[in-house]
Amino acid sequence: MVNLVEDAIDKMKTSAAPVPVILVGGGSILLPEELKGPSEVIRPLHSGVANAIGSAISQVSGQIVKVYALAEKGRETALGQAKEIGMSGAIEVFYCEG
């Protein structure tokens, strides 16, 4: 795992010069304090919950697949029905799995 992270860091760098690396997210605790390649490893305060913070402030999205005859229903009606299907599906998943 450490080798994979070190290789990924090398691939992202724009030059061969060592650069600082900021580790965040729950998995960052599995990595050592020193890595080959970066000039330093930085772990900000509360870095372990960075993914949770990102999830909490992100916009919700979803997807449904359905064909509507817009000539019959109209665009606004079709969008409203699709939105309703998506919202009820999301609520069902939340309460059944959460």
For residue 71, give every residue at least 6 positions away whose Cβ sits within 8 Å of its Cβ, in sequence order, or none: none
Specify the pLDDT at position 97.
Answer: 61
Tokens representing residue 22 in the block: 């900021």
CA atoms within 13 A on the CB side of 32: 10
Per the confidence metrics, is the pTM higher than 0.75? Answer: no
Cα 85 to Cα 30: distance, rounded to the nearest angstrom: 40
| H or E element that contains 41 | strand 41-42
pLDDT digits (tens, 9 = 90+) for 24-78: 988 888 999 999 989 999 999 988 888 888 888 888 778 889 999 999 999 999 9
Do residues 45 and 65 touch, judged by C-beta distance below 8 A? no
Tokens representing residue 47 in the block: 């870095």
Tokens representing residue 97 in the block: 């799995």
